[in-house]
Amino acid sequence: MTAQEKKEIIENLEKQLSGDHLKDMQFLQQQAEIYEQQADGAEIADEILKLAMSRMPEENQAYLKEMIYIGERRLNQVYEEAVNLSNQHLTAKSLTLTEQLYQHITKHFQESETGRFFSFRNLLESNLYYQLYHPTKNLLKTPFDFTRYLTLHGYNLIELRKTDEAVPVLQEAIRFNPVNPDPRFELAELYKLTGSQKLLIETIRETIPVCTSAYALSRCYQNMGYYCIDRKDYDSAVCFYFESMIFEKHPAVAGELHHISILTGEKITPPTRKQVLSAFEKYKIHNGPAPEALHVVTELSKQAQERQNWAEAVFYLYVIYDITKDPAAKTMLERCQERLETQNQISKGENPDGKN
């Protein structure tokens, strides 16, 4: 993205501001979040946040700075540096920054009698939270994805074998977004490391209801495979590993199956469907997407199609197909993708039929 393109984006956003302080702040925050998710959008997101700050009264600027800054850097900038250090395997240095984030977040974003802060990433997550937890307090949106920030802190602590410290950090990450499975996966890795098998299977069971991707379901089943190997229940382990590959193939699974073959001295053969379902029933693990998650995303898909919001419909239908592999969902997804493409062509002044 060129400097001119960035300038034009900011100028276009400024033109869309209404003059209503609260509405403009919400609008700019939403736009910053959209650009933050894009590969080359970090600088744009920073400029949008600066624009938001400049539109605020001075007294509000001081309060906001106290909330979303550590020193002279915004929380997202501190996090990005921590990620870079972690990617370079400089875990101790990354930990120094994530500890700052943890202390700042837990100090400034506490739950009150009437409200609680959340870091939902999309409408699917907030709706699933309502479906599963039935909240009574007001849901307050955090300025950044604190679940992601605190999950990195938990990961750093686990990497440095500070497992006792990691548990409350990851529990706090879950508190900010109970329907994001990522911090629960880190907890599972921690319990593998410490040999806490009872806590491991409890965590797996708590994770499955919030899985809205094939990857997440597959990882839960792989964790069950690990759990069963530790219990020397190799037949069940094979069932869980093969089921995980239906949702997403992971190279580590082949290694685990080979490991089981060495332990048992037997060749691994694919289990029957009856054997797979029996293993799930044995350990009280739900097979496939949880009914609540599937219900929520299906309803959101229907609503999006009724509004002819094809972008949202495509998102929700992709989730449905991803976690069910249902051919009917795939057909509907392709149909909505075509309608979205047509809609985009019309908005650009193009003829969707390709004629001049």
pLDDT 10s digit of each residue in the chain, 356 long? Answer: 677 878 888 888 888 887 776 677 667 777 777 777 666 676 787 787 777 777 666 766 677 778 888 998 989 899 999 999 999 999 999 999 999 999 999 999 999 999 999 999 899 999 999 999 999 999 998 888 999 999 999 999 999 999 999 999 999 999 999 999 999 999 999 999 999 999 999 999 999 999 999 999 999 999 999 999 999 999 999 999 999 999 999 989 999 999 999 999 999 999 999 999 999 999 999 999 999 999 999 999 999 999 999 999 999 999 999 999 999 999 999 999 999 999 888 877 766 665 54
Q: Write the Ramachandran bin of 56: left for phi over 0, alpha for psi from -120 to 50, otherwise beta.
A: beta
Q: Which residue matches tokens 């001119």?
A: 4
Query: Which DSSP letter does residue 118 get?
Result: E
Assess contact for 54 and 25: CB atoms under 8 A.
Answer: no
3-class SS at 277? helix
Dihedral sign for Cα atoms in the order 102, 293, 115, 118: positive
Residue 29's φ and ψ, nearest 5 degrees, are -65, -40
Query: Which DSSP letter does residue 278 get?
Result: H
Other CB atoms within a 10 A radius of the CB of residue 327 amount to 9
Query: Residue 140 forms beta bridges with which residues?
Result: 117
Rounded to whole angstroms, how far apart are CA atoms 269 and 261? 10
Range(s) of the chain covered by CATH 1.25.40: 183-211+213-282
End-to-end CA distance of the chain: 30
Residue 339: the pLDDT is 94
Tokens encoding 125: 């997550």
pTM score = 0.86
Nearest to 297 by CA among 306, 286, 289, 307: 289
Dihedral sign for Cα atoms in the order 333, 335, 337, 343: negative
Domain 183-211+213-282 coded CATH 1.25.40: yes
Residue 18: the pLDDT is 79
Assess contact for 204 and 222: CB atoms under 8 A.
Answer: no
Q: Please, what's the largest Cα pairwise distance for the chain?
A: 73
For 217, the enclosing helix (H) or strand (E) is: helix 214-230
Residue 297: the pLDDT is 97
